[in-house]
Amino acid sequence: MSARNKVRKAVFPVAGLGTRFLPATKAVPKEMLTVVDKPVIQYVVDEAIEAGIEHLVFVTGRGKAVIEDYFDIQVELEQTLRERNKKVEIELLEGILPAAGMTSFTRQQAPLGLGHAVWCARDIVGNEPFAVLLPDMIMRGDKGCLKGMMEVYEQTGGNVLAVEECHPDQAHKYGIVGVGKEVGGGFEITKMVEKPAKGTAPSNFFINGRYILQPEIFNILETQERGAGNEIQLTDGMLKLLEKQGFSAYHFRGETYDCGAKDGFILANVAFALARADIRPSVEEQLKALLAR
């Protein structure tokens, strides 16, 4: 594959209002809420870096400046840690710091929708394919979701979406894809339907919040009218792109937690805590006691 086609940049739309987490999100962006001891956004950035992403593009909004600070050096803190010889903590902070020049931040002045947020990254992304990762969704699997998508992309090119299977009764809650022939370890997407009416979904495969898109999406989003929720929807833009370009699906077979919803966020904390050897025994014991009440 030519260098022009490599997916080097990932866009993280973090400009939403996070109304489901009010009052916390009055002062703290939901992407900075912690799952065990890391902010949600860190999990998603780790997934992008594991997949070989070289540049992180954050589309932020008002009240989100703390995200930019999080990805910077905290000089006073690190100085104090050095004075106290806190080697483990210093290493931890150094390990998560993106390389100089590896991040870009742009603003979506008004939360006009996910499609609009992605469009705000157009100049930073330029004329090359890119990934979009919804920071609400954090995933666990043998292999990162975006890494798996990259493997499909290497075979198919074009646009790649990650999908997962839902119970047929739940399909009306999601963006559902139509299943075509097998390609590159995934399958061809024949259609996309946002929140299909009950009993009409073309499959049980829903789009889980990870996308590899070609830059032609930007021109489409530029003139995209508002759709569901009076917002400029990414799915509406992708539907137009599907008329001109191929879309493939990567079937992610891991666990996904929707940290934009209260139950998903709490479950993520439980699941990630149980996966940690240092705290599992105590968490497990206390959870059992709680459930027995």
Strands 38-39 and 130-133: unpaired
* Shorter beta-carbon distance to ligand UTP: residue 108 or 214: 108
In whole angstroms, the minimum distance from the beta carbon of 64 to ligand UTP comes to 9
In whole angstroms, the minimum distance from the beta carbon of 232 to ligand UTP comes to 8
* Shorter beta-carbon distance to ligand UTP: residue 81 or 192: 192
Q: Is the CB of residue 28 less than 8 Å from the CB of residue 122?
A: no
In whole angstroms, the minimum distance from the beta carbon of 221 to ligand UTP comes to 12
Alpha carbon separation from 245 to 175, 215, 250, 252, 258 (Å, rounded): 19, 11, 17, 22, 29
In whole angstroms, the minimum distance from the beta carbon of 114 to ligand UTP comes to 4
CA distance 182 to 118: 29
Q: Which parts of this chain interact with ligand UTP (CB under 6 A)?
A: 13-20, 59, 108, 111-114, 116-117, 134-136, 260
| The token pair that represents 178 in the structure block | 């139509």
In whole angstroms, the minimum distance from the beta carbon of 102 to ligand UTP comes to 20
* Shorter beta-carbon distance to ligand UTP: residue 252 or 265: 265
* Shorter beta-carbon distance to ligand UTP: residue 115 or 158: 115
Tell me the residue nearest to ligand UTP as measured from the CB: 16
* Shorter beta-carbon distance to ligand UTP: residue 16 or 186: 16
